[in-house]
Amino acid sequence: MAVTTAVCNQFKADLLGMAVHAAGNTYKLVLIKNGHTGTYGAGTVSVGATVDGTGTPSTTLLGTDAISASNSTMGTYPVTGFTLSGFSATLQSTTGCLDFTAPAAATGTTISASGCILYNSTQATGKSLACYAFSGAPIVSTVGNFTITFPSVGASTSLIQLA
């Protein structure tokens, strides 16, 4: 199965609905394990009400495709994903941009990840905003740090761009 970097279609509808997402909500970035069985990308709707590494993966549930204690050494990485701070919605010229501050490194991890999902954990179903693929070989840590770094704010660099 594949992970594709894309803004989630459901997020587009949620934006036009003008009621789902708010700056004060809690946003998280959850890793997708290498060897996942679900397909993740524009069609991903949500990660599920509870991200605990259980359940059959689907467009509305990350389930067993999450990095969890059953498939990884978690170290300081929480099964629900990195909690993001620094919500920043800006206009860069004519492009709307959404960015966050990169989370602190997870330490003591043995993780193999093929991608990640940005989602809103305040929403009961964990509505997804975007998926990010790690194409090629998975990202692997071994008894070490797992660090995610975000691009800088900009019309062509921001984490999520609406042109």
Partner 1 sequence: MDEPLIHTTKGNVPVSSLVYQTAWDIQETHIQFVERYLDDTGEVVKQNAHVYALPAAMTASNELSEA
Positions touching partner 1 (CB under 8 A) are 5-7, 12, 105, 108, 111, 116, 130-137, 139-151, 156-163
With a CB cutoff of 8 Å and minimum separation 6, the contacts of 151 are 157, 158, 159
**CB 44 → partner 1: shortest distance, Å?**
11
Q: Which of 113, 99, 116 lies closest to 151, judged by CA?
A: 99
By beta-carbon proximity to partner 1, the closer residue of 8 and 66 is 8
By beta-carbon proximity to partner 1, the closer residue of 49 and 162 is 162
By beta-carbon proximity to partner 1, the closer residue of 6 and 20 is 6
Does residue 103 contact residue 82 with C-beta atoms inside 8 Å?
yes
By beta-carbon proximity to partner 1, the closer residue of 62 and 100 is 100
**CB 38 → partner 1: shortest distance, Å?**
17
**CB 105 → partner 1: shortest distance, Å?**
8
By beta-carbon proximity to partner 1, the closer residue of 23 and 137 is 137
Distance CA 159, CA 98 (A): 6
Q: How far apart are the first and last CA of the chain?
A: 29
**CB 156 → partner 1: shortest distance, Å?**
8
The encoded tokens of residue 140 equal 């692997």
Residue carrying structure tokens 């193999």: 112
Burial (CB count within 10 angstroms: exposed 0-12, middle 13-18, buried 19+), residue 24: exposed
**CB 49 → partner 1: shortest distance, Å?**
24
